[in-house]
Each structure stands twice: as structure tokens, then as C-alpha cells.
């Protein structure tokens, strides 16, 4: 079976983890600091702050920007639930705008329609590693004096107009979850050029301590630290990342070339100024007689892993439609009735997409099987 996820870890990572064990410095320390330095160089940011995962990165970023209960943050419903949950952790209100039907990213025009007096930020997600139209979103954020928080949890190695995703807005958040282009197992990071934000995040991630450490706490903070063990895997993966990104891109280009003329089938479109990071490749069926679940079944029958990812838009999740029944902040904040939210493009893409393996463990031979199988599936009447 060609797996949908297959982290490329081995001897190098084993050695690096063993070296941390030998050093007995298991907690977040020098190895994490080295990772931060090298990751800043990789993305072209002044500061990287590692965290326990991408969700905590988003949570801390939103809190550090001063977004408060009742503030509105415009985001996409076609993403992992953590994107909008992080807004809720701070008592703020996720407002969902629809996606572009071809790039699957926030449609800037739809974002503008959702701006109110309560809007404080836009939280775009570079979905599957495909950069959003950051020029349009940045212009909107500047015109309306809003923060731009990039959810770059899926977009390591993705660029818009020459800048790495996560470094274009006010703050960028990354995940190093096991499946990602750059995995720690569990881990995350915030990147920012703003020194004051950096200091606030360092304090928030470590129980409200100042850089002096110790048992003096200046604000209510969290434990959002990672460990040297995780960072050691990250450092090794960072060395391999350029090669792994090259393989992902090679595989994605094979799909684009071999399947361009296939009727009823489409791949995610990329903006002309963008370079996709190819975390995930998704196909889309535009045929009523060939639903995505059928395509997935046929792919699996040929030994090709596939699945649907965000088939339920975030606002349709029970956690959102029943939010007032159990959510603490709902006593103080009036949330929209999410059952009335409608983003037709997110709903349609949610139904019609399916994952195609292109990760760094997928060979050219595997790609030949994948493309010929997809042709067979879509050419069969």
C-alpha cells in the first residue's frame, strides 16, 4: 500500500535522539535553541519560538496580539479544526468566510464582506501547503487595521512572491506534527520579526515567567514548551527538508502533467505568485456519477492510500453548532448561530476532494501507478 503519510525518519534521527538522552538534557534547551536559529534562517524570519504543537502556537500568537473575548477573527472553514479553535481558546469569535473554488484558500472578497466593527484579525490558512493570495489579504488587513495571523501549519517550504509563508503577516504559526513536511512527532513554532511579540510569547509559553526563569510569574501563562528530544528530530528533518520538498514537488508536477486533460478531474490551483509546499495533493471529482468516496475506494483497491480530509466545514462540527451548550465563554460572548453559516464552496470541495500520496516516500514508479489508476478511474464511463 502506498501510504498517505510516511515520515522519512531513520538512523540520523535515532542518533540525534540518543545524543540528547546521553546529554541528560531532555527538557527544552540548547537543541531547541539551535533548531530555532536554523528554522529562522530557513524561513527568513528574525525570531522563531518553538512550542509544544501548532495549536499552542496559534493560541499563543492570538493571545500575544491582544485579541480579547468578543473580538472577531475571520478565517476559513476548510481547514483542520485547530485553526478556529485557537480563536475560541481566547474567547474570540471565529467568523467563517468562504474559500476560492480552485485554490481552496480564503477568498479575499468574501473576507472583506465579513468585516465588522468587532473584527480584529484575519487568520488565513495555506491549505495543503498552497499559499493564500497574501497580497490581497495584506491589503485588506492594512486598509482595515487588522492583524494578519498566518496559519502556516501545513506550509513549510511554501512561498508567496518570494517570501516564505508565515513571514508575510504579523505572525506565522507552524506545526511539526508527525505527518507534516517537517515533523518533530509533536511540535510547533511561531515566527515573528516583532521583538515585543517575541517577549510576550516567551513569557506566555512558560507559565508567565520572565527570561530570568525561576519561580517568579508576571502573568498567567501556559506550558507550551517542547523538548530537546523533539527538537533533535526536527533538526535532522530540517537538514533533509530541501530534498524532501524537491521530491514532493517532482511528484506533484507528475500529477499536473499526466492528469491535466482528464475530464471531470481537477487539482488544486496555485496562484501565479505562489510556490506550493505540497504537504498534501488533493484531487477533485467534478462528476456527479463518480463521488470522491468511490474514487477513494477504487484507489485503495489498487494499493494507493487515499482519504477525505476536511469533509465537514468547521462551522458544521457539533462543537460549533452546539457551542452555547457547553462552552465557558458563551456565558459572556454572543457567538453566531453557526448552523446558519453557509460557505458553499467549502461544502462542495469538502464533498468532492480526495488525497493523493506525493510525500517524500513516494517513488516515480509509485507515481506512474497513481496516474495510470486515476486515468483508468476517470476515463471509465
CB of 51 to ligand PLP, least distance (A): 9
| Residue (79 or 371) nearer to ligand PLP, CB | 79
Q: Does 277 bind ligand PLP (CB under 6 A)?
A: no
Q: Does 153 bind ligand PLP (CB under 6 A)?
A: yes
Among 63, 98, 100, 151, binds ligand PLP (CB under 6 A): 151
| Residue (43 or 377) nearer to ligand PLP, CB | 43
∠ Cα 187 105 170 (to 5°): 55
Among 55, 75, 224, 306, binds ligand PLP (CB under 6 A): 55
Q: Does 175 bind ligand PLP (CB under 6 A)?
A: yes
Q: Does 96 bind ligand PLP (CB under 6 A)?
A: no
Q: Are 166 and 150 in contact (CB under 8 A)?
A: yes
Among 47, 53, 119, 345, binds ligand PLP (CB under 6 A): 53
Which cell goes with 256? 499536473
Residues 6+ apart with CB under 8 A from 289: none
CB of 279 to ligand PLP, least distance (A): 8
Q: Are 2 and 370 in contact (CB under 8 A)?
A: yes
* Burial per residue of 99-135, b for 16 or more beta-carbon CB atoms within 10 angstroms, e otherwise: bbeebbbbbbebbbeebeeebbbbbbbbbbbbbbbbe
Whose grid coordinates read 478565517? 75
CB of 151 to ligand PLP, least distance (A): 5
Helix intervals (H) in the chain: 11-23, 30-43, 54-64, 82-89, 108-113, 134-143, 195-204, 228-258, 292-301, 318-321, 323-326, 344-352, 364-379
Q: Does 80 bind ligand PLP (CB under 6 A)?
A: yes
Residues in 187-216 at the binding interface with ligand PLP, rule: CB under 6 A: 188
The three-state secondary structure class of 71 is: coil
If we measure between CA atoms, which residue out of 202, 218, 355, 352 comes closest to residue 289?
A: 352
Q: Does 177 bind ligand PLP (CB under 6 A)?
A: yes
CB of 166 to ligand PLP, least distance (A): 12
Q: Does 149 bind ligand PLP (CB under 6 A)?
A: no
Q: Does 79 bind ligand PLP (CB under 6 A)?
A: yes
CA 301 to chain centroid, in Å, comes to 29
Q: Does 61 bind ligand PLP (CB under 6 A)?
A: no
CB of 55 to ligand PLP, least distance (A): 3
Residues that contact ligand PLP, how many (by CB under 6 A): 14
| Residue (181 or 373) nearer to ligand PLP, CB | 181
The three-state secondary structure class of 75 is: strand
CA 359 to chain centroid, in Å, comes to 16
Q: Does 51 bind ligand PLP (CB under 6 A)?
A: no
Q: Does 224 bind ligand PLP (CB under 6 A)?
A: no
CB of 80 to ligand PLP, least distance (A): 4
Q: Does 125 bind ligand PLP (CB under 6 A)?
A: yes
CB of 152 to ligand PLP, least distance (A): 8
Q: Are 63 and 111 in contact (CB under 8 A)?
A: no
Longest dimension (CA), the chain: 70
Residue 340's Cβ-count burial label (10 Å; 0-12, 13-18, 19+) is exposed
Stretch in the footprint of ligand PLP (CB under 6 A) among 77-85, 88-96, 328-336, 370-378 = 77-85
* Residue numbers at the binding site for ligand PLP (CB under 6 A): 53-55, 79-80, 82-83, 125, 151, 153-154, 175, 177, 188
Amino acid at each position: 500500500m502506498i501510504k498517505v503519510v510516511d515520515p522519512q525518519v531513520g538512523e540520523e534521527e535515532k542518533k540525534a535522539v540518543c545524543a540528547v538522552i546521553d546529554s541528560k538534557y531532555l527538557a527544552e534547551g540548547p537543541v531547541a535553541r539551535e533548531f530555532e536559529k536554523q528554522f529562522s534562517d530557513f524561513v527568513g524570519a528574525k525570531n522563531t519560538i518553538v512550542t509544544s504543537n501548532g495549536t499552542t502556537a496559534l493560541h499563543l500568537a492570538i493571545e500575544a496580539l491582544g485579541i480579547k473575548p468578543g473580538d472577531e477573527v475571520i478565517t476559513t472553514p476548510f481547514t483542520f479544526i485547530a485553526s478556529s479553535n485557537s480563536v475560541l481558546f481566547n474567547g474570540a469569535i471565529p467568523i467563517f468566510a468562504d474559500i476560492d473554488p480552485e485554490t481552496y484558500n480564503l477568498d479575499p472578497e468574501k473576507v472583506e464582506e465579513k468585516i465588522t466593527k468587532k473584527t480584529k484579525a484575519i487568520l488565513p490558512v495555506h491549505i495543503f501547503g498552497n499559499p493564500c493570495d497574501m497580497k490581497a489579504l495584506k491589503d485588506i488587513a492594512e486598509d482595515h487595521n487588522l492583524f494578519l495571523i498566518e496559519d502556516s501549519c501545513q506550509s513549510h517550504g511554501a512561498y508567496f512572491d518570494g517570501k516564505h509563508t508565515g513571514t508575510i503577516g504579523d505572525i506565522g504559526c507552524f506545526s511539526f506534527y508527525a505527518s507534516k513536511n517537517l515533523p518533530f512527532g509533536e511540535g510547533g513554532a511561531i515566527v515573528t520579526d516583532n521583538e515585543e511579540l517575541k517577549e510576550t510569547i516567551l513569557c506566555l509559553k512558560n507559565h508567565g515567567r520572565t527570561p530570568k526563569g525561576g519561580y517568579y510569574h508576571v502573568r498567567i501563562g501556559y506550558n507550551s514548551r517542547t523538548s530537546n528530544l523533539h527538537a533533535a528530530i526536527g533538526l535532522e528533518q530540517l537538514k533533509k527538508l530541501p530534498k524532501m520538498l524537491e521530491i514532493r514537488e517532482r511528484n506533484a508536477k507528475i500529477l499536473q502533467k499526466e492528469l491535466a486533460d482528464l475530464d471531470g478531474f481537477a487539482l488544486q490551483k496555485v496562484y501565479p505568485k505562489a510556490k506550493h509546499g505540497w504537504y498534501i495533493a488533493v484531487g477533485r471529482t467534478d462528476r456527479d456519477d463518480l463521488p470522491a468516496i468511490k474514487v477513494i475506494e477504487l484507489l485503495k483497491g489498487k494499493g494507493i492510500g487515499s482519504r477525505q480530509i476536511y469533509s465537514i466545514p468547521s462551522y458544521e462540527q457539533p462543537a460549533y453548532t452546539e457551542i452555547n451548550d457547553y462552552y465557558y465563554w458563551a456565558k459572556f460572548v454572543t457567538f453566531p448561530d453557526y448552523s446558519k453559516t453557509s460557505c458553499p464552496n467549502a461544502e462542495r470541495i469538502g464533498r468532492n476532494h480526495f488525497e493523493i500520496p506525493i510525500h517524500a516516500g513516494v517513488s516515480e514508479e509509485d507515481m506512474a501507478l497513481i496516474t495510470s489508476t486515476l486515468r483508468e478511474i476517470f476515463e471509465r464511463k
